[in-house]
Amino acid sequence: MAPAIAMGLLVASPAHADFSEGYKFLEAVKKKEGEKVEKALMDSAQIVNAKDVTTGETALHIVTARRDLTWLSYLVGKGANVNAADDRGRTALELAVNLGWREGAALLLQQKAYPDTPNDAGETPLIFAVHRKDMQMMKALLEAGANPDRADNSGRSARDYAKVEGGSANLTETINTYAKKNLKAAKPVYGPTF
């Protein structure tokens, strides 16, 4: 009986499991297999926004994490959603800001990445730039419309963190200088926003 069960297990789980097309695409992006990526995109243009089923990461998350401007430009050119978030609410822009990768953040902002998208903790890319004391990144985000008064889940905004962490970097002055003048003070929001 035991050999029959063992044989059944071998038949049920072949060494070359059938992976989804999205999984294969993301693996090809991870391995920088350009021909496989191109073929997958020719077969289905929507695959550019495939998500990893365990993390929710897209191809943009993968190439941003490795700071690969060539692949980032390519995927954006193929229609990748620059505002796609993973399972923790992180966008490629947030990853670029966290890495201090200005070129990647600049490209994503040029392609209309939302500068105010919060992650699951309510933290925005601007809050991360303030934590990093990266005034160039702060300037780029503010000029793209980031709201310095949008609070995270703890109730603190980028402006609040700038006051606390400012030190000699003068983060508050950067916010005051580059924040869009037409931004209204952040108000509590109840229900969905569009």
Examine residue 8 and state whether it is found in any structural domain, yes or no: no
Where is pLDDT greater, at 17 or 133?
Answer: 133
Q: Which residues pair with 23 in a beta bridge?
A: none
Tell me, yes or no, whether 34 and 108 share the same domain: yes
CB 153 within 8 A of CB 184: no
Q: Look up the CATH number of the domain holding residue 42.
A: 1.25.40.20
Show the domain range for 160.
121-185
Residue that is last in its domain, among 99, 114, 129: 114
Is the pLDDT confidence value at 152 over 70? yes
CB 114 within 8 A of CB 147: no
Tell me, yes or no, whether 28 and 108 share the same domain: yes
Examine residue 3 and state whether it is found in any structural domain, yes or no: no
Q: Residue 68, Cβ neighbours under 10 Å: how many?
A: 17
CB 81 within 8 A of CB 49: yes
Tell me, yes or no, whether 131 and 97 share the same domain: no
Residues 92-140 have pLDDT tens digits of 999 999 999 999 999 999 999 999 999 999 999 999 999 999 999 999 9
